[in-house]
């Protein structure tokens, strides 16, 4: 997904066109049955992050890394998009992909299966990549067998990894995410933050001091997302909150068009 830079044309009085920016984290996929970092029975409980999700150690822990992401990939094939994903898809259909930037920290494909494109800033679980030759391919919901599977192009084994942004690694999609938040300088832009505690991507810094309307949906408060930054807050399930937020967007967007 490509997000163009806002056009300020060097004129300090000019503001970019208004947009709807939806930024989601693990909480939006939780009702589908995908655990979050913070669950008591969560994905990471029996795994040290430095073993299975760190740029500097993944090759040393090659077998464990692939076993972990194989399990996540198989699980992904067994779950379905929930009402929050479907609501986002409906918002994009209603206002057009050119006006709605759907950005997610999640590596699942539940937005795509709900019928909407997403900018995945931390990678995509269904994809593999080869550091040896740069090849990328879709493995769907299958496991990568470290005994038999290889890169389809160069036949490397040790260069093959899940297409996931590990801690300490580069996140090339961040540049497009930052492009999107430039549009917050329009007071008619609407930003929706859903299902993230704000402690991985610094949302606070990206919306602080901007004139746009900001809406938050989480299950609970977070010290990294000060309430004073938001015009509306819903502490409840994303499935019920996104329906309310859809109505908020309808009212705000149509008001600025009237």
Q: Which residues are annotated as catalytic?
A: 122
Parallel, antiparallel, or unpaired: how do β-strands 213-218 and 190-194 relate? parallel
User: Cα dist. 68→63, 99, 163, 186 in Å?
Assistant: 9, 37, 13, 42
Q: By the 8 A CB rule, do 241 and 249 touch? A: no
> How far, in Å, CA of 48 to CA of 53, rounded?
8
> How far, in Å, CA of 195 to CA of 27, rounded?
4
Residues 6+ away with beta carbon under 8 Å from 243:
83, 87
CA 173 to chain centre: 10
Q: Which residue(s) pair with 100 in the sheet?
A: 20
């Amino acid at each position: 997904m490509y997000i163009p830079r806002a056009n300020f044309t060097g004129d300090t009085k000019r503001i970019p066109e208004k947009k709807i920016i939806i930024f989601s984290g693990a909480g939006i996929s939780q009702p589908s049955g995908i655990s979050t970092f913070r669950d008591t029975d969560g994905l990471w409980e029996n795994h040290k992050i430095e073993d299975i999700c760190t740029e500097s150690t993944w090759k040393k822990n090659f077998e464990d890394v692939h076993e972990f992401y194989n399990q996540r990939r198989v699980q992904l094939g067994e779950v379905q998009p929930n009402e929050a994903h479907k609501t986002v898809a409906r918002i994009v259909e209603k206002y057009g992909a050119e006006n709605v930037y759907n950005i997610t920290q999640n590596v699942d494909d539940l937005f795509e299966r709900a019928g909407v494109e997403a900018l995945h800033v931390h990678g995509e679980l269904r994809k593999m990549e080869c550091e040896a030759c740069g090849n990328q391919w879709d493995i769907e919901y299958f496991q990568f067998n470290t005994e038999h599977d290889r890169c389809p192009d160069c036949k490397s084994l040790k260069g093959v990894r899940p297409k996931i942004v590990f801690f300490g690694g580069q996140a090339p999609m961040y540049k497009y995410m930052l492009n999107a938040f430039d549009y917050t300088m329009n007071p008619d832009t609407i930003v929706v933050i859903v299902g993230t505690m704000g402690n991985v991507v610094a949302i606070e810094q990206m919306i602080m001091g901007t004139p746009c309307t900001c809406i938050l949906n989480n299950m609970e408060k977070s010290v990294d997302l000060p309430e004073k930054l938001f015009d509306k807050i819903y502490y409840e399930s994303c499935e019920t909150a996104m329906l309310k937020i859809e109505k908020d967007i309808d009212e705000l967007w149509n008001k600025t068009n009237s």
